[in-house]
Structure 1
Amino acid sequence: MTFRDDLRAGKALQGADFPRTRQEVLDYALGRDADEKTLEALRSLPEGTYDSLDQVVDAVPQEPEGARPGGTER
C-alpha cells in the first residue's frame, strides 16, 4: 500500500466505527463505493479484528514503490 492508497483507504472507511472484522471493513468500503484499487488493498488484510483505521492501514501489506506497472523504479 502506498501513501496514496493510505489516503484512499482513509476515505473509504471515513466514519466507520471500530472495532471491525476484516469482512466488516470490506463491507463498509463496498457500501461507500470504494474504487477497485482500494478494495484490492483491503482484500489483502489478514483475518482479524481491527480497532482503528490506523490499524487497518498498518495491516495492509506494503508494496515497494515501482513494483506495479507505471511505478517509479528506484
Structure 2
Amino acid sequence: MGSIASIANQVSSNITGQMTSVQRDMVAKAPDEQKPFLEAQFKLENEAQLTQQITNMLKKLDEMSMAVIRNLA
C-alpha cells in the first residue's frame, strides 16, 4: 500500500507542480489580463488529470483485490 501512496505523490508533484512548456508559451503569449485566467485553467486541467489518474489506480487496486477474493472463494 505504501508503494501506491508514493506513486500518487510522485504523480501529484509532476502534474500539479508545473505547467508544460506548451502551457507556459500560451500564457506568455496571452494578453496580460488573460494570463491569470489561463494559469487557473491549466491548473484546473492538471488537477483533473491527477484526479483521473488516482481514480484509475484505485480502480485497478480494487479489481486486483476482488480477483484475490474471488480466487479464495
TM-score by length of structure 2 reads 0.29
More strand by share: 1
More helix by share: 2
TM-score by length of structure 1 reads 0.28
